[in-house]
Structure 1
Amino acid sequence: MSTSPSSSSDDLGAPSRSTIVGRTETWHHLLDIKEYSYSKKLPTGNYISCPFTAGGHSWAIHYYPKGRNSSYAAFISVYLGLNKGVAANAVAEPVKALAKFSLLDQAGKPVPSHTHTTGQFDFSSESRGYLSYHDFIDRAWLEDSEHLKDDSFTIRCDIVVTTELRVEETRAAAPFVVVPPLDLHRHVGDLLVSKHGADVTFQVAGETFSALRYVLVARSKVFKAELFGPMKEGASIRVDDMEARVFRVLLGFVYTDTLPDDLGMDQQEEAAMAQHLLVAADRYNLERLKLFCEEKLCKHLEVSTAATTLVLAEQHDCQGLKEACIEFVTSPDAPEAAVMVTDGFEHLTKSCPALVKELMSNLATRLCKRRKL
């Protein structure tokens, strides 16, 4: 069984890190609208194009004094795009840039309520590679504001072009102090191996296991009840109905909170060990060990063992494992008929008739869904 304890970030070394580095250049263009009253004589949908150069590219602002279309006839609309008047091959690929439009006050400062910034945008000389604000300025609001003076106002356009984008590996400086990973489980495990200070023994299937009373009671309420009840120092406890190899793994988990990486078993033997260990974990109220066993058994479901595992899950209140078994038996590709002729299914019908009823109900529901599809 290959399971290791979870590690916190404190257990790990310094992480590797990459940084995306972008070099940008910023330009701004001022668009002064003089004789505003005259410009708004243009019909809705008509614009005045104002070309300029920024970042080695030719741009154009389109100024719509009476809105881009009838839906925005009460507004001033603005448009920014690469100038389509340049040669067709002038732009080989889209230009990545941020853009900001601002109405300026009489002091030349952006008016916060009329400042709009985009995210990064891909501009191109194609018809859709542009950015527009249809409702940039309400004309009635502008005409009543202090920002329109002598029939003039100014729009500022800022463009931030990404000229280089690369990935760099960031190398952290070597720390002066390195805290090693947690190793408490290893030290406590050494006590189990050395038997140093052992004050209780267990007789399991002809084998004797020595352990420290206080380690056991710290990990299991069942051990606490046994060892702080009538048991005295140096007492020997007989454990029935358990294999010695299962108790050995259980005792190791009690000391280290881990399971061995390799028990020298094939998958079938490992699944059988997980079943026995689950029963032992439930017996001693070791919930974490029980969940490890459930996880392992969910990955080892087969036709020959599905029914037996389902009984085990029901008897030991393993809801996750129970759901996995039902899903396996009733799934669209599952050989449910093959499962039902196994000895395990016969045992299931005798020991858990209510569970069989639940299984059949799930199966009937799945079959009805398949027919509807």
Structure 2
Amino acid sequence: MASNSSATSTDAAAGDVPEPSRSSSVVKAMSGYHVLKMEGYAAGKKGLGVGKFIMSGGFDIGGHCWCIQYYPNQSSDDADWISIYLTLCSTTVDDVNASYTFSLLDHDDEQPVPEHSMSSSSVRAFSRKNYWGFRQFMEMKALEESPYLRDDCFMLRCDVTVFKETIIEPAPRPVVAVPPPDMHQHLGSLLSAGHGADVTLQVGDEAFPAHRCVLAARSPVFMAELFGPMSQNNKETIHVHDIEPRVFDAMLHFIYNDSLPKVDDDEVVAMAQHLLVAADRYGLERLKLISEDTLCSHVDASTAVTALTLAEQHHCEGLKEACFKFMADSGNLKVVMESDGYLHLTRSCSNVLNKLASVFKKLAA
């Protein structure tokens, strides 16, 4: 159970709505039980005397130590009754709120006997000076005539639920609200506006103005190409081959924004395939993993061969496993083997054959 409280200040400027302060009060209930086995019932009844009790061993519930007090003859008024009480043994606390139930147990299954169980009517406050229970828990005659007294022994169970309240104070509200990081937004704006561009990347018929420092910071390949011993630092235009302009544009967007531009649904797989190759080429590990993850979620009969080829060529173990998992189904494998690219796969990626052989064995088994 939890409750919330709030307070507002009355000296706010006119028209302002003050922010309330808040805290939470959480009440937790912790339960447990203890079984007390009373042997030598007859001797205790006769020999203890009026007002004398037997104390159980201590047991821990809710972080507190408890004991059971058993009176075979608490007073002259209760001479024919068993009295039973729960007492707090801890010496470090003054008040503990708890509810309790005492039950006579069946010897055969050690389960409570419903007609001989009694519960506190409400939550009680326990301390070192008081205890709670039942003066007339059960008549001695009823116990002695019942099957629950066996070999001069009976068992009692005490269930205890301790209630604790915890006040949770919120962290102080910061005086200054700090926004999330937005460097990628500024770099993305720099790319789109072209301000300060000091190099042009020529990809086919399209030119992409960019910034040497940004490219080098994001890609070890660009770092070597622009600032290494064999760098083209003095060139204003660098020609990039073997990549489509649209793919390079998406990769450049990622370099500056750390995210990919929106792609049409029917282009998602093809773009991910090309970007995986480009990311591996330029050492963009995060982009490579993003592309691999996209391809893993799009493995089907039309993409499995291409995806497996890419996985083998660019060391993508996760994608490779996704493809083999898809082909573990005999129907899927048959469709893949009948595709145009399967023969090329077996010729260009010989390492794949061993794995495929194990797939064949599992399907044949």
Decide: shared fold, TM above 0.5.
yes
When residues 62 and 85 of structure 1 are mapped into structure 2, their CA distance, relative to the original with a 3 A threshold, is: closer
| TM-score after normalising by structure 1 | 0.58
Residue 311 of structure 2 is matched in structure 1 by: 313
1:323 CA displacement:
1.0
Matched position secondary structure for 1:241: coil
Alignment of 1:342-353 (within 5 A): 342-353=339-350
In the alignment, what sits opposite 1:245? Answer: 246
**Deviation string for 1:35-54 (max 9, x for gaps)?**
99942999xxxx96434599
2:278 and 2:250 map into 1 onto residues whose CA distance is 10
Q: Is the 8 A contact 1:51 1:61 kept in 2?
A: no
Deviation, 1:58, is 7.9
Instruction: Choose the corresponding residue for 2:332, options 326, 330, 335.
Output: 335
Is the contact made by 2:218 and 2:255 (CA closer than 8 Å) also made in structure 1?
A: yes
| Pairing 1:358–2:334 present | no
Query: SS in structure 2 opposite 1:292?
Result: helix
The aligned amino acid for 1:202 is L
Root-mean-square deviation over aligned CA pairs: 4.7
Q: Find the aligned partners of 1:331 and 1:39 in 2 and give their Cα distance.
A: 74
Question: Percent sequence identity over matched residues?
Answer: 43
1:304–1:344 contact (8 Å) kept in structure 2: no
Which position in structure 2 is the counterpart of 1:140? Answer: none
* TM-score, normalised via structure 2 length: 0.59
Which position in structure 1 is the counterpart of 2:176?
Answer: 177
TM-superposed deviation, 1:183: 0.2
Residue 290 of structure 1: aligned partner: 288
Q: Which runs of 5+ in 1 are unaligned?
A: 1-16, 26-30, 70-78, 109-156, 369-373
- Are 2:100 and 2:120, in contact at CA under 8 Å, matched by a contact in 1? no
Deviation track 1:298-340 (CA, whole Å, cap 9, x = no partner) reads 01111011011100110111111111111111146x5210111
Residue 367 of structure 1: CA displacement? Answer: 4.0
Shift of the 305–80 alpha-carbon distance from structure 1 to 2, 3 Å rule, reads closer
Tell me which residue corresponds to 2:210.
211
Tell me, what secondary structure is at the counterpart of 1:178?
coil
Give the Cα–Cα distance (whole angstroms) in 2 for the partners of residues 254 and 41 of structure 1. 90
How far apart, CA to CA, are the structure 2 residues paired with 1:255 and 1:58?
65
Secondary structure at the residue paired with 1:357? Answer: helix
State the number of aligned residues. Answer: 263
* 1:363/1:53 CA distance change after superposition, 3 Å: same
Rounded to whole Å, the distance in 2 between the matches of 1:345 and 1:175 is 61
1:161 Cα offset (Å) = 4.7
Q: Give 1:363 deviation, angstroms.
A: 3.2
